[in-house]
């Protein structure tokens, strides 16, 4: 079955960096658009970043532009989120997500989520 497993979260001081990984299995990875989302306590889940199938195109939420970088390695079935200059407001559970078609708001038939990894940024 399809599985997405996030790793790399943890506790970091403001201004520090973390790199999250999302390893996929049970999918033809290169056919999927991949995204990162996060959910802070008491907040709705929100879009963070995404990357197209080839890795050529990326997009970011305004709140993380210039600080976060999303990449993928299709040979390793893995997508990454490099997070620099972390702020306390980045504290959240981070999830990876995979779709083949549609959009994040209205995905097609295939829409898979990981279990999430906790990122905590202290002030």
Q: What is the pLDDT of residue 25?
A: 92
Mean per-residue pLDDT of the chain: 96
Which of 65, 91, 84, 80 has its CA nearest to residue 10?
91
As a whole number of angstroms, the distance between CA 17 and CA 14 comes to 9
Burial zone of 57 (CB within 10 Å; 0-12 exposed, 13-18 middle, 19+ buried): exposed
Q: Quick one: pLDDT band at residue 27, thresholds 50, 70, 90? A: confident
Q: Quick one: pLDDT band at residue 40, thresholds 50, 70, 90? A: very high
Name the β-bridge partners of 119: 10, 92
As a whole number of angstroms, the distance between CA 27 and CA 41 comes to 31
- Whether the pLDDT of residue 1 is over 80: the answer is no
pLDDT tens per residue across span 70-119? 999 999 999 999 999 999 999 999 999 999 999 999 999 999 999 999 99
């Amino acid at each position: 079955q399809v599985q997405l497993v996030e790793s790399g979260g943890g506790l970091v001081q403001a201004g520090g960096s973390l790199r999250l990984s999302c390893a996929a299995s049970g999918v033809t990875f290169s056919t999927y658009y991949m995204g990162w989302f996060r959910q802070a306590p008491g907040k709705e889940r929100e879009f963070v970043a995404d990357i197209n199938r080839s890795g050529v195109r990326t997009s970011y939420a305004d709140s993380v532009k210039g600080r976060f970088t999303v990449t993928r390695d299709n040979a390793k079935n893995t997508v990454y989120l490099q997070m620099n200059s972390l702020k306390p407001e980045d504290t959240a559970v981070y999830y990876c997500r995979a779709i083949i078609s549609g959009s994040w708001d209205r995905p097609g038939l295939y829409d898979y989520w990981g279990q999430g990894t906790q990122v905590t940024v202290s002030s």
